[in-house]
Amino acid sequence: MRTSTFLRLKLREAAFISKALLSSNHVVLAHIIPMRRCNLACGYCNEYDHTSKPVPLEVMKRRIDKLADLGTSVVTISGGEPMMHPQLDEIIRHIRSHGIIAGLISNGYYFTPDRIKRLNEAGLEYLQISIDNVEPDEVSRKSLRVLDKKLRYLAAHADFHININSVIGGGIKSPEDALTVATRAVELGFSTTVGVIHDEDGLLKPLGEKEKQIFHQVKKLGNKDHARLNWFQDSIAEGQPYEWRCRSGSRYLYICEDGLVHWCSQQRGYPGTPLEDYTMEDFHREYKTEKWCAPTCTIQCVHQVGILDNWRDPQMTPTQVRKEQKKKETERVGQVLRPE
Ligand code: SF4
Ligand code: SF4
């Protein structure tokens, strides 16, 4: 990444963090899915199929326009494998045309020098690749041996920030692989994070002793900013619940391939409202609503967004939120019917 691009990105990050601290009335981060299809079939994953078609570019553009209307600061394109979408570059350009920071999560298989240069030109700013093991096995083929060549291409040609996420838990056989992956990422000049793989419901798998030791070693190798933001993981690694306020459906949105808003990838169906119909009333309801799955949640990006508002606006149970809404509606009707 060129120094000028790096400095510009740091300034843009500082601006979106200040905006988020000053006001809680806009979306901070949205994940959008342009395609559910994936070229791989990781054993722990519930986020892919092998048949779906790409979402048409015009539809993706309308969704991005709506996210811009909601004041979104960062849009990350996820999947499935988003690199399989034939108009990915146009989607990135459209995100940037709104002044929004553009990110991508990929399994890394499709990177070639030419493809990386086209992503530079489209204006991609962040890339995250998760690498699960050193040698491919029946659980995962997101493996360092297969992907090392791609990582070298990225180190040589990418003009965007690259983070390599290694993982622990979820049936990954050799936890020490996470250390090998993180060490290689640092050698190549990338940042690195470590995630605890969730179970099928997106919830915690407790770590064994050896896994815990490696988890802490890998965290030490990583970016200090990420380590500070991810301190919830220390409780999670110990199998302890963690108290925080999940602002999904509000400050964080997950938009599936059908254009519906969900809390996150692991809680699809709530609220399940079409993005085009999503209003600030939905935003405020979800902002205030306590999420039942929060204490053992392992989803890093939603935790990071949550930090921006953890110090303000306590949440309520869904029943309390419904009662409050009903009271407001009754007051509104009362005002309309009041005789002059
Ligand atoms: S590469 Fe990603 S989307 Fe595809 S199966 Fe694996 S974890 Fe799921
Ligand atoms: S706490 Fe929030 S991010 Fe975590 S699983 Fe629940 S809804 Fe998703």
| Stated pTM of the model | 0.92
Q: Pick from 2-6, 108-112, 164-168 the range whose average pLDDT is largest.
A: 108-112
Confirm or reject: Cβ of 242 under 6 Å from ligand 2: no
Average pLDDT in the chain: 91
Ligand 2 atom nearest 249 alpha carbon: 7
Confirm or reject: Cβ of 297 under 6 Å from ligand 2: yes
C-alpha of residue 293 to centroid of ligand 2, in Å: 6
Residue nearest to atom 1 of ligand 2 (CA): 294
Kindly give, in sequence order, each residue whose CB lies less than 8 Å from that of residue 333, ignoring residues fewer than 6 positions away.
none
| Digit-coded pLDDT (tens) for 211-267 | 888 888 888 887 665 655 566 777 777 777 888 999 999 999 999 999 999 999 989
Alpha-carbon gap, residue 292 to 79, rounded angstroms: 25
| Higher-pLDDT residue of 216, 68 | 68
> How large a percentage of the chain has pLDDT more than 90?
68
Q: What is the pLDDT of residue 292?
A: 93
Q: In what order do the strands lie in the sheet with 126-131?
A: 191-196, 161-168, 126-131, 101-106, 74-77, 29-32, 252-255, 260-262, 271-274
